[in-house]
Structure 1
Amino acid sequence: MFPIRDHNPSERTPYVTYALLAANILIFLSYWPLQTNNPNDLGAFWDAWAMRPVEISQGIDLHTLVTSMFLHGGWMHLAGNMLFLYIFGDNLEDQLGHVPFLLFYLACGVLADFGQILADPNSPIPNVGASGAIAGVMGGYLLLFPKAKVDIIIIFIVFFKIFPIPAWVMLGLWMAFQLFNGITADIAGGGVAYWAHAGGFIAGFVILIPFWLRRGGQAFWQQTEGHPPHPDAKYSPSTIPVIPRRK
């Protein structure tokens, strides 16, 4: 289950969201050859730019709190993060403005790193990815637009189906998965920084509470019934074919 679009196109061009998408993709392409041709150089690259909790705990390599959020471990890691940023980033940028949104994004990414550091401060494992910052965007989206429609695609092995659901359902389930996976990963081990995801999500939600209150709090929700303040986009029903089970 993952989102493919929301029903809320922004009213102005989300230049910062587009710039972040471009920056993440171009930076990934710049070091991708190291992943396939030069494992030793790749290790040195991670050592210089990826965030290691043990180093931050010791007060060294603090620049990696920012640089790590523009690095990704592979194509699927990059594609998943960019999809979520593309879906949810434009509406927050529309509400906050270009520069405030950029500062919000970076702050969520740094605070997400601290979520992972608090969970395992002595870990030497390099952490990379925009997931924490994008989780913050999702947390802010949940606060401002809890009833916005999000189309998710569910894959059932033999067929696919698109469902429009409220944002609070999709984002609430996503957050619950991060908490569950974070707890189980602490027990069994794993390679995903779930506590960074959870920390970023909570940070984004909390940071935007003053903004939400200035807009009227619950009155802001009542004005648009929890949707962005413009008409929803209308999409035609899903034309993804159902693949019948073979007998």
Structure 2
Amino acid sequence: MLLPIGDSPNPENYTPWATWLLIAANFAVYIFISYPLTQQPANLYDPALQEYLRFLTPRLPHNLPLTAMLQRISAYEVFVFANGYKAGAPQLEDLFFSLFLHGSFLHLAGNMLFLWIYGDNVEHRLGHLPYFLLYLFCGIAATLFFSIFTQTSMTPLIGASGAISGVLGFYFIFFPRNQIKVFLALFPFFFNVVRLPARLVLGFYLLVDNVLPFLMASSGGVAYGAHIGGFISGLAGALIWNRKWKMHAYQDFRKSREKTFPLPFERLREALALQDRDSAMTVLPLLAPSDLNSLNAQETSLLASWVRQDGHQQSADLLLRSFVKTHAGSSDLALIFLDLGKIRFAAGELTAAAYYLHEALESATDPKTANTAHQLLAEIEHLQNR
């Protein structure tokens, strides 16, 4: 078993309001609608029950009495049949509402765990509203993709899995160097928590957990086609978004030249001074790596933190090490060494982290920098002595 339980790095000082709203909405639907209805028998006078029985009867044993059948049917089963998306009887409202219905608490909890792990990074990259709208789009795309293979089926499709698979597709493109913390279990012999590359974990999810069962026609009540459709829509959306972002950066550069606006490097320094992350990340692709050597330590540290938040861990590391190489002997290296120590610590490279943190202590003139280095070194010593 391979179960994701966390990821790194994550956006710092950022609140993923849309992700939290979606998680809250899914839990609210379950608590106030789904669960109460599972505890109630079906209403014998509900017209939807008659439709559900017409659908259900051919799929049950012929010798099952009608009374026994009715005793087994909960009000939630009828509600799902009425409001879940059915490829054989598509309704626009079902297309949206089905994204917030779940078959059980475990079904809901698993989906929300994935959304909590991956959603904040993707929301940080896209922005709150685009992320929310693209979440819904991926859910709809996943449902329609699934319906291609079940065109006349009246079995209702419910769950946020397709939309969340779309979020995973965005994550796969946006954050190739992120690490996923995974609970790995080979019952009953092996249990461990390990960090694996994001693309390895997400590739396993797509191919082993979904494509292979889909090709083997082993559903078991799981809509693998919806998961695959959602993931593909996320991949496509991320590629289009990246292309649009790069095109906007190029157009901004051309306009700056035509209107004799400041050169890209000056625009970067201005954005750093104003703490304008979006402007800095827009102009960054227009600069050569050698241009960045002219930044001071504070600017380099801030820019590296933004690059890390976008999932480019290796690029941030190279930016910081380039500063150390270019400014050897400078009195401003403590902050850079501290950042390098943090990156190595987050990656689990404790020996390398300790080296950089000691360098930060030796060159630190700021008490805050020195205290942070001391705290991290203490944590490393504690971890190494366990």
Q: 1:211 to 1:55 in 2, by over 3 A?
A: same
Give the structure-1-normalised TM-score.
0.85
| Residue 24, structure 1, aligned to residue 26, structure 2 | yes
C-alpha contact 1:151 1:163 (8 A) present in aligned 2: yes
Q: Given residue 111 of structure 1, which amino acid in structure 2 is its aligned partner?
A: A
State the identity %: 34
State the distance in 1 between where 2:92 and 2:18 align. 24
CA deviations 1:110-155 (Å, max 9, x no partner) are 0000111011111111111000000000000001111210011111
Deviation at 1:189, TM superposition (A): 5.0
State the distance in 1 between where 2:216 and 2:203 align. 18
Instruction: Report the 3-state secondary structure (helix = DSSP H, G, I; strand = E; otherwise coil) of the residue aligned with 1:192.
Output: coil
Alignment of 1:145-184 (within 5 A): 145-158=175-188, 159-177=190-208, 178-184=210-216
Which residue number in structure 2 is paired with residue 4 of structure 1? 5
Instruction: Report the 3-state secondary structure (helix = DSSP H, G, I; strand = E; otherwise coil) of the residue aligned with 2:220.
Output: coil
Deviation at 1:55, TM superposition (A): 1.0
Q: 1:189 to 1:212 in 2, by over 3 A?
A: closer
Match of 1:37 among 32, 36, 40: 40
State the distance in 2 between where 1:29 and 1:133 align. 21
CA deviations 1:39-88 (Å, max 9, x no partner) are 342233113321111112xxxx2211111010100011011100000000
Alignment of 1:82-121 (within 5 A): 82-121=112-151
| Residue 55, structure 1, aligned to residue 85, structure 2 | no
Match of 1:211 among 232, 241, 249: 241
State the distance in 2 between where 1:63 and 1:5 align. 34
CA deviations 1:192-233 (Å, max 9, x no partner) are 10000000000011012122124449x69x995982578768
Structure 2 unaligned spans of 5+: 42-72, 248-284, 290-303, 317-341, 349-378
Instruction: Report the 3-state secondary structure (helix = DSSP H, G, I; strand = E; otherwise coil) of the residue aligned with 2:4.
Output: strand
CA deviations 1:156-215 (Å, max 9, x no partner) are 213411111111100011110211111222xx5531100000000000110121221244
Deviation at 1:33, TM superposition (A): 2.3
Deviation at 1:2, TM superposition (A): 1.2
Greater relative CO (CA pairs within 8 A, separation 6+): 1
State the distance in 1 between where 2:194 and 2:22 align. 28
Q: Given residue 179 of structure 1, which amino acid in structure 2 is its aligned partner?
A: V
Structure 1 unaligned spans of 5+: 240-247
What number of residue pairs does the alignment pair up? Answer: 230
C-alpha contact 1:81 1:134 (8 A) present in aligned 2: yes
C-alpha contact 2:180 2:195 (8 A) present in aligned 1: yes
Q: Given residue 29 of structure 1, which amino acid in structure 2 is its aligned partner?
A: I
State the distance in 2 between where 1:181 and 1:91 align. 29
State the distance in 2 between where 1:148 and 1:70 align. 29
Q: 1:80 to 1:147 in 2, by over 3 A?
A: same
Which residue number in structure 1 is paired with residue 311 of structure 2? 227
State the distance in 2 between where 1:216 and 1:160 align. 43
Deviates more, 1:105-114 or 1:46-55: 46-55
C-alpha contact 2:138 2:162 (8 A) present in aligned 1: yes
Instruction: Report the 3-state secondary structure (helix = DSSP H, G, I; strand = E; otherwise coil) of the residue aligned with 1:161.
Output: strand
Q: Which has the larger radius of gyration?
A: 2
State the distance in 1 between where 2:198 and 2:241 align. 19
C-alpha contact 1:91 1:228 (8 A) present in aligned 2: no
Give the structure-2-normalised TM-score.
0.55
Deviates more, 1:32-41 or 1:21-30: 32-41
| Residue 190, structure 1, aligned to residue 220, structure 2 | yes
Q: Could you say what the CA RMSD is over the residues aligned between the two structures, in angstroms?
A: 2.6
State the distance in 1 between where 2:11 and 2:25 align. 21
State the distance in 1 between where 2:219 and 2:175 align. 35
Deviates more, 1:131-140 or 1:29-38: 29-38
